[in-house]
Structure 1
Amino acid sequence: MPVRPLTISSIIFPEHFRFVNNHQKWTSTLIWSTLVVTFSTSFVMGVNIGGPNVYNAFIVPWTRGYPFPCQKDAGVAQWVAGVWWNCNYDNVSHMNKTGYYYLPEVPTNREPIQRLIDAMHTICFVLGGTIGGFTGQYWYIFLTRRNAIFVSMIFQVVASILMIITLEIYYGYTDGDPDLLTIVRTLRNKNVAVALLYISRLLSGWSAGMCCVVSTIYLTDISPRPMRGKIVTFHQLFIVIGLLVGQIVGLPWLLGRHKRVLILIIFLNEILPLNVFSTWNWGMSWIGLFSLAGCVLIWTLPESPRWLVQDHQRDAAARSLRTLRQNNLIEAELDEIERQEATAAMQDKSIYCMCFSPRFRWPLLTSITLNAVQQFSGINSVFFYSSTTFSEIGFVEDKVYWGILSTGIINLIATIGALKLVESFGRRSLILYPLVMIIFVMILLCVFIEMHKQNYRLAIVALSLTLVFIVLFAIGLGPIPYIYPNEVFTIDMRPAALSISMFASWLCNTLITLFFQTLRTVFQGFVFLFFCVFCSLALWLLWFKMPETKRKTLTEIEAFWQ
């Protein structure tokens, strides 16, 4: 009796074809490749998300045109200025000739638009991420995988250089109350410096958006199929590690302060004093060193075997696979890649085809929904604005920083746990059930944030609910939106699918960044009800239209939608 051909929807493989499962484990080359890529792209992205949150107290007055160390908003910013710059906010009448000790209040009718302007550096970051996510597929198509990753790292190196320049041309470090001449001289290059800040954040975002596409595809390409879910999850893990490191580096005991450091250097047998300032621009630019190192180390990694097959370099693909697998038993896996690519070459891979083909309708809609709800869950409102939120709900002085740090630590612990859960439980269950709980947590968060005004001690309950929300996010909505498109699309459509999904993610991130501060000004704690609504709509769609993809063939997955 003849064996029926193995059919994956419209893709038909030869009768003798079987998917290869060589039970590969970690090899030194695979470990090295994963670490280089995730440290130089994913980790950098995490630092760029977590760091600016703790520097907002410095960035906001600086962009408004008040760069002197004591010109800070009330709350934790004034505490930092008092401890590390000896600013005295109890008795400043004799030092207030030019407003040195005050950040002028914003009129009530202008507060929403001012909040939007204050968030512009974050808006530039997510706009860059939107561009990078959407264009990632083109870098992926026209360059090799390694070259595309290299370009994303170059963007971050340039961004770090621009970030260093900002406070070199516009700063206001001075003791006592500055005279009018000092203020005029300080503000001379303000517009140029602020523009460089925004360009730097745009490039950092562009690099981050690209890495969500090109880095994850490279990790998928070099991974043995049984390990792909786990290895791609390392992208999310290193984002989370970077986020925590960014928060730590931004603590006022490290780079999150104005601090004069006097260094003595010997030049031509003379001792010269050099003033070095530990400031927020260095705290946001040091991460470029990882990208710079990545620009060198990327060339020690093997090229993607799949890309080499696409480029008709079979011998080079075989060498790459041998290096990655560290054995010579690669012919079956190489044959599988060649068959998949041969079939993919006959397909229409355009975005138009993906958007309007009935076959890709539900894979695309569910992928977009997953990435949209990842942002509309409100996670980045925590990591972008938690310093402001914690101050408003009652945390003071250094307690704000410990609250911020707790979010990064719990996020890391939960993400490490997700590495095990993502292969132990189904993708569907890790999305749906935590999403139900997130909705209830958001409702409780609204209640306790509003109640803290009558009961100060309830602020700690609001923090606890925030940490529970982070755990629920990390085990499902954190890693799975990066994995899911790789499992529901054919190989040829994955670049376009990932680009569209990442574009949706960063676009929703942009909307959150644009409107969260303004909505919070108007609705206060009840702003989290907006996230509840979005999560509920996503839950309804995903409950009926998201299939289980763990260890499923594409035929079995597509049967769910038929």
Structure 2
Amino acid sequence: MGQPEASEKHQDRRFVLIAVIAGLGGLLFGYGTGIVAGVLLFLTHTFQLNGSLQGAFVAVALGGAALGAAIAGMLADRWGRRRVLLATAAIFVLGSVLAALANTVLLLFLGRVLVGLAIGLASTVTPLYLAEITTPARRGAIVTINQLYISIGIFVAYGVNLLFANVTSGWRWMLGLGALPAILLFVGMWVLPESPRWLIQQGLAIRAAAALQYLRSTMQVTAELHSLQQGGAENNARSTSLPELFRNPKLRRLMIIGLGLAVFQQVTGINVVLYFAPRIFQETGLSSPFMAILATGGIGLVNVLATVLAMRFLDSLGRRKLLLWGLWGMLISLLLLSAGFLLPLQGLAGAILIVLVSAIFVASFAMSIGPIFWLLISEIFPLAIRGRAMSLATVINWLANMLVAGVFLDLVGAIGRGGTFLIYAAMALLAIIFTLKMVPETKGLSLEQIEQQLISNS
């Protein structure tokens, strides 16, 4: 018994190391989006950016992310998951350094476009790669490492904002420090193998076997390799072009699930809370900017801790049950936030209540649709189309992000914060109905079993 247990522990350590390195793509995603709030405070003075240019500074990164997500699947299917992650790291380093050293608005914006492009690539390829290298029993936790890193990246960005808030040209450090995790990802990906499933799809069985032996820390991979080859042969026998996902009624449901979750993850208002939390808290009663940013940092910490809990329960409770529980928590907290703004609550006590309810909302998100969206889109699509289908879902996710963030202040001006959060609550209710009717359970199944089950049952 001692030798197999030692081998299993060695495999665990090897796999955790692999997942930690590959998951750094999520950290780039989180840091690159979370650092903006602090940077904007400086750029308005350094480059005399008016309101329109400030909006453009945010928008160019989101636009770059949408572009990156749009091409990520095609690149990952053609060149492999590992190569695209290496390119992602290099682009992020270049964009971060260029933006940090910029002495003109043009260079600053170009740097942010490159960072956005890398974020879009990472947001698609990181969960794809993690899903394809792991075993069914661990896939929920391992793919959720991506969401954990996103949460950590946002939290670290809040901390860096505070650290350099009173430093001359602190915005340069805020932007430039994003290159560090990108360098770690670039170095780490050189020692990791390509996805065995992608190698099988390319007819590279010998390299796939070597990759599996490295990933599983054992030479005994014949049975798993045979299963992957069989699944790959079935994929190649099917017509799996991207338009086929919409034409074929057996596959259309998969795309509806992916795109539906992509939209609901954003239209329930998560990024409104993450992007505009300091402003919301200030207007509610935390008049000190430092206290508002500190409260926002607390929200970021809740986001991280709740994601850790999600990793613990995704493979035991299952995706569907956890998704529903979290969506109910989001619905209730959004209704409470709407009521709090409509009353309205005033003073320190009211502000503390709003912060606490916001924390419950973020925790509910982080334990449900936050990670489960990325997990499910890495699981439900056929291998031959998985990269491109995930790209489309991710593009829709980024576009929904841009729409919600872009119209938030206009909505608040038109119907108030209470009415705006009531709309997000209605979206959460629709997400619950959508999940009950459409979303399958994938816990404990291999990607090949999920594909066969979903296609045969559609």
Q: 1:25: how far off?
A: 8.0
Q: CA RMSD in A?
A: 2.3
- Counterpart of 2:119 in structure 1 is 208
Which of 377, 397, 400 does residue 508 from structure 1 map onto? Answer: 400
Which of 148, 154, 164 does residue 255 from structure 1 map onto? Answer: 164
Which of 411, 421, 446 does residue 303 from structure 2 map onto? Answer: 411
1:321-349 CA-to-partner distances (Å, cap 9, x unmatched) read 11111111111111111111111112222
Conservation of the 8 A alpha-carbon contact between 1:255 and 1:282: yes
> What is the rounded CA distance, in whole Å, between the counterparts of 1:129 and 1:38 in structure 2?
18
- Counterpart of 2:61 in structure 1 is 125
Matches within 5 A, 1:12-27: 26-27=11-12
1:110-135 CA-to-partner distances (Å, cap 9, x unmatched) read xxxx4x65332222222222111121
SS in 2 for 1:531: helix
Q: 1:454: how far off?
A: 4.6
One-letter amino acid matched to 1:35: V
1:166-198 CA-to-partner distances (Å, cap 9, x unmatched) read 3xx2xxxxxxxxxxxxxxxxxxxxxxx223333
Matches within 5 A, 1:183-332: 193-251=104-162, 254-257=163-166, 259=167, 277-332=168-223
Conservation of the 8 A alpha-carbon contact between 1:24 and 1:325: no
Q: 1:26: how far off?
A: 4.1
- Counterpart of 1:47 in structure 2 is 31
Q: 1:313: how far off?
A: 2.1
> Structure 1: which 5+ residue stretches go unaligned?
1-21, 67-113, 170-192, 260-276
Aligned residue-pair number: 446
- Counterpart of 1:37 in structure 2 is 22
Conservation of the 8 A alpha-carbon contact between 1:53 and 1:386: no
Matches within 5 A, 1:520-539: 520-525=412-417, 526-539=419-432
1:339-385 CA-to-partner distances (Å, cap 9, x unmatched) read 11111112222110012210112111111111111111111112212
- Counterpart of 1:490 in structure 2 is 382
Conservation of the 8 A alpha-carbon contact between 1:309 and 1:317: yes
Which of 536, 544, 553 does residue 437 from structure 2 map onto? Answer: 544
One-letter amino acid matched to 1:528: F
Question: Rg larger in 1 or in 2?
Answer: 1
> What is the rounded CA distance, in whole Å, between the counterparts of 1:60 and 1:540 in structure 2?
43
> What is the rounded CA distance, in whole Å, between the counterparts of 1:129 and 1:314 in structure 2?
34
Conservation of the 8 A alpha-carbon contact between 1:54 and 1:387: no
> What is the rounded CA distance, in whole Å, between the counterparts of 2:368 and 2:68 in structure 1?
24
Matches within 5 A, 1:142-221: 142-166=78-102, 169=103, 193-221=104-132
> What is the rounded CA distance, in whole Å, between the counterparts of 1:513 and 1:202 in structure 2?
18
Q: 1:432: how far off?
A: 2.1
Which of 447, 466, 471 does residue 358 from structure 2 map onto? Answer: 466
Q: 1:413: how far off?
A: 0.8
Q: 1:223: how far off?
A: 1.1
1:266-291 CA-to-partner distances (Å, cap 9, x unmatched) read xxxxxxxxxxx351121122111221
Conservation of the 8 A alpha-carbon contact between 1:145 and 1:218: yes
> What is the rounded CA distance, in whole Å, between the counterparts of 2:153 and 2:348 in structure 1?
32
TM-score w.r.t. the length of structure 2 is: 0.91
TM-score w.r.t. the length of structure 1 is: 0.75
Q: 1:430: how far off?
A: 1.6
> Structure 2: which 5+ residue stretches go unaligned?
1-6
Q: For the structure 1 residues 349 and 560, does the alpha-carbon distance in structure 2 shift closer, same or farther, using more than 3 Å as the test? A: closer
Conservation of the 8 A alpha-carbon contact between 1:163 and 1:285: yes
SS in 2 for 1:478: helix
- Counterpart of 1:188 in structure 2 is none
Q: For the structure 1 residues 121 and 331, does the alpha-carbon distance in structure 2 shift closer, same or farther, using more than 3 Å as the test? A: same
> What is the rounded CA distance, in whole Å, between the counterparts of 1:196 and 1:365 in structure 2?
39
> What is the rounded CA distance, in whole Å, between the counterparts of 2:42 and 2:156 in structure 1?
19
> What is the rounded CA distance, in whole Å, between the counterparts of 1:387 and 1:51 in structure 2?
13
- Counterpart of 1:13 in structure 2 is none
One-letter amino acid matched to 2:268: S
1:198-239 CA-to-partner distances (Å, cap 9, x unmatched) read 322222222111112212222122212322222111111111
One-letter amino acid matched to 1:217: L
> What is the rounded CA distance, in whole Å, between the counterparts of 1:145 and 1:51 in structure 2?
27
